[in-house]
Structure 1
Amino acid sequence: GRVVGINSQIYSRTGGYQGVSFAIPIDVALRVKDEIVKTGKVVHARLGVTVQQLSQNLAESFKLKQPDGALVSSVTPGSAAAKAGLQPGDVILKFNNKPILASNDLPALVSMEDPGDKVTLDVWRGGKHIALNATLSEAKDSVAANDATTSDAHGGKLGVAVRALTPEEKSEANLASGVLVEQVTGRAERAGIEPGDVILAVNGTSVKTVNQLQSLVSKEGKQLALLIQRGQDKIFIPVGLG
């Protein structure tokens, strides 16, 4: 036989095996083994982004024909990605000229590099390709008055009742802008938006006020990509407007 990976976890609702497991690719395992033998420890490279998988609806929101690539939902300040100019809403299509077909391809490719390595990124932004260069870092072990009222975005077209964040909420969530979702119905509810979410951007445009959200929803067409903060996580959620 041929070893292709090493099982590391299983998926289970009961504590027993249910037929789904997760494995470390053998190329990564061999590299880790070689580093431990050579230096006694493992040092990982880090790009500094959080990515998510593209669905077909999200791909269409970003004017992509296919849901290929890794969608950047957040960029760590001061990281290699931030210094290279990556932004939330970018779609990384290639890493060192290697195609990224799914979001989990990116961390696997980064893991094969060393801290200090220079890499090239083919990025989709605003409907066109751009090339960015990044120098990977080392992964550490720890790594207004109208707005105060609740408003239904665009008369129910989106299906959210939102309000401006208070200064205290902005400080607690470490946010400079965004609007807080208080109620959800219709399209937004079906898309998975929840009360308590903070809408940060619509199709790549930052949302600073309730009125701006209403304007963006009315102008951006039939498919929206909403950048949401939920707890400490930032995610994109596609919403179809019919």
Structure 2
Amino acid sequence: MVTSISTDIKASGRTRGGPSGSGFIISTDGYVLTNHHVVAEAETIKVHLKDGRVFTAKKVGEDEDADVALLKIEASNLKAAKIGSLDALKPGAWVLAFGAPFGLEHSVSAGIVSGKGRSLRWNQYVPFIQSDVAINSGNSGGPLVNINGEVVGINSQILSSNGGSIGLSFSIPIDLAMDVAQQLKAGGKVARGYIGVGIQDVSDEIAASFGLDRPRGALIGSVEKGGPADKAGLKAGDVITGVDGQKIEDSGELPFLIGAVKPGKSAKIELLRDGKVKTLSVTVGAKKADDEVASSDSTGNKQRRLGVVVGELTDEQRVDAAADGGILVRDVEDGPAADAGIRPGDIILSINRQPVSSVSQFRELVSKLPAGKSVPVHVVTRGNARFLVLRVPE
């Protein structure tokens, strides 16, 4: 039985109408799934059933990372949605989206699955189902249903240039949503795996400079000191290509694979290091907020070949950046460094895979760089470590 959901939000002592959305019943005793963003600020939540009954819902729990919320209404002998499996869902399969777009309750739209496992920059813990089903305001939280009448996803968001549906709709996979629901029901919160690495995509140039056969995997730009990855021996410059046997083609796949591992459990991390395949076992920790560090100015010297002015790091700057070595970029002129994306305030940790600990060492390494070749440069930018590709001048 599909539901629509309306909310009231109290602000500055006044009550105003909040966002409306959709949802669906997952148990006969009144548990309802919807999106976190539908009920996030709600003081009062009303669940409207298809038979006309309206219930005030209690918020059992919500998970912003997955954009899932679990509600409870005091009712019994309800008709629950039939939960399907994502395994059989393939691109090209027909799906239906139920909901209340713009308040038009009990609406349905049809389309096909465009892809699975989509990673969106603003939500790294969900491998979204992409479809061309029309989803609009009010559809959020409603079920995505396969041709057998089974729920395979929760309609969550769209990409659009005009605010309306243009055929790019994204739904939360039902297996992930049901796992979140069970955790919320059991303890009111969700435990999500974390290993303490900063990652980036592997571009064509990075793949070539690291000796990879093609762009694939997740390149580690930084490893948190004392974190799970550090304890397991992972290093900056490693390219993670799989987790527990599941291959990683795009860096965006890593967060939700690790996030799905329960803290305290071990995960097998497959990686490439210096062209060699390795497998390390990591005891996964619990996700925590990212810390940010900043760097400040210092004195330094100009490296004419690359068009960059560098200086030594102070002890305070090194501690702030959590770096064992490195040098500070004071200024960047037009040239190879600027073209690579190096900016003033960056900290250079290594160049061409060679660690840098002083300005004099940096000069020596730069003098030996192969002319006309592309080399990786490991830098810290505003606390985030990443690899850039620098083209050495002829």
TM more than 0.5: yes
In the alignment, is residue 215 of structure 1 matched against residue 359 of structure 2?
A: no
Contact 1:162 1:180 in 2 (8 A): yes
Q: Evaluate the alpha carbon distance shift between residue 94 and residue 44 of structure 1 in structure 2; reply closer, same or farther with a 3 A threshold.
A: same
Contact 2:264 2:285 in 1 (8 A): yes
Q: Whole-Å Cα distance in 2 between the matches of residues 217 and 25 of structure 1?
A: 49
Which residue of the partner structure matches residue 224 of structure 1? 375
Q: Evaluate the alpha carbon distance shift between residue 6 and residue 236 of structure 1 in structure 2; reply closer, same or farther with a 3 A threshold.
A: farther
Q: CA deviation at 1:113?
A: 1.6
In the alignment, is residue 237 of structure 1 matched against residue 388 of structure 2?
A: yes
Q: Whole-Å Cα distance in 2 between the matches of residues 95 and 206 of structure 1?
A: 28
Deviates more, 1:29-38 or 1:61-70: 29-38
Q: CA deviation at 1:175?
A: 3.2
Q: Quick one: which amino acid aligns to residue 164 of structure 1?
A: E
1:42-89 per-residue CA deviation (whole Å, 9 max, x = no partner) reads 111112111111111111111112110000111112221111100111
What does residue range 75-94 of structure 1 map to in structure 2 within 5 Å?
75-94=223-242
Among 274, 278, 282, the alignment partner of 1:134 is 282
Q: CA deviation at 1:127?
A: 1.9
Q: CA deviation at 1:38?
A: 3.5
Which residue of the partner structure matches residue 178 of structure 2? 30
What does residue range 19-168 of structure 1 map to in structure 2 within 5 Å?
24-140=172-288, 149-152=300-303, 155-156=304-305, 158-168=306-316
Contact 1:95 1:109 in 2 (8 A): yes
Q: Whole-Å Cα distance in 1 between the matches of residues 310 and 361 of structure 2?
A: 12
Q: Quick one: which amino acid aligns to residue 197 of structure 1?
A: D
1:110-135 per-residue CA deviation (whole Å, 9 max, x = no partner) reads 12221122111111111211121111
Q: CA deviation at 1:160?
A: 1.4
Q: CA deviation at 1:92?
A: 0.5
Point out where structure 1 has 5 or more consecutive residues left out of the alignment: none
Contact 2:369 2:392 in 1 (8 A): no
Q: Whole-Å Cα distance in 1 between the matches of residues 154 and 270 of structure 2?
A: 28
Q: Quick one: which amino acid aligns to residue 237 of structure 2?
A: G
Contact 2:327 2:357 in 1 (8 A): yes
Q: Quick one: which amino acid aligns to residue 34 of structure 1?
A: Q
Contact 1:28 1:111 in 2 (8 A): no
Q: CA deviation at 1:220?
A: 4.3
Q: CA deviation at 1:96?
A: 0.9
Deviates more, 1:2-11 or 1:69-78: 2-11
> If each structure's strand is expressed as a fraction of its own residues, which one has the higher value?
2
Which residue of the partner structure matches residue 192 of structure 1? 341
Contact 2:299 2:330 in 1 (8 A): no
Q: Quick one: which amino acid aligns to residue 123 of structure 1?
A: L
Contact 1:225 1:239 in 2 (8 A): yes
RMSD: 2.7
SS in 2 for 1:103: coil
Structure with larger RCO (C-alpha < 8 A, sep 6+)? 1
Contact 1:8 1:24 in 2 (8 A): no
Q: Whole-Å Cα distance in 2 between the matches of residues 195 and 96 of structure 1?
A: 40
Q: Whole-Å Cα distance in 1 between the matches of residues 170 and 352 of structure 2?
A: 33
Among 330, 346, 352, the alignment partner of 1:182 is 330
Percent sequence identity over matched residues? Answer: 35
Q: Whole-Å Cα distance in 2 between the matches of residues 220 and 23 of structure 1?
A: 48
Larger radius of gyration: 2
Q: CA deviation at 1:21?
A: 7.3
Q: Evaluate the alpha carbon distance shift between residue 4 and residue 57 of structure 1 in structure 2; reply closer, same or farther with a 3 A threshold.
A: farther
SS in 1 for 2:280: strand
> If each structure's helix is expressed as a fraction of its own residues, which one has the higher value?
1
Contact 1:6 1:26 in 2 (8 A): no
Q: CA deviation at 1:41?
A: 2.4
Q: Evaluate the alpha carbon distance shift between residue 148 and residue 111 of structure 1 in structure 2; reply closer, same or farther with a 3 A threshold.
A: closer
Q: Whole-Å Cα distance in 2 between the matches of residues 23 and 159 of structure 1?
A: 47
Q: CA deviation at 1:138?
A: 1.9
Q: Whole-Å Cα distance in 2 between the matches of residues 207 and 186 of structure 1?
A: 20
TM-score (norm 2): 0.54
Q: Whole-Å Cα distance in 1 between the matches of residues 164 and 341 of structure 2?
A: 29
Q: Evaluate the alpha carbon distance shift between residue 203 and residue 28 of structure 1 in structure 2; reply closer, same or farther with a 3 A threshold.
A: farther
TM-score (norm 1): 0.84
Q: Evaluate the alpha carbon distance shift between residue 112 and residue 163 of structure 1 in structure 2; reply closer, same or farther with a 3 A threshold.
A: same
Among 347, 350, 364, the alignment partner of 1:201 is 350
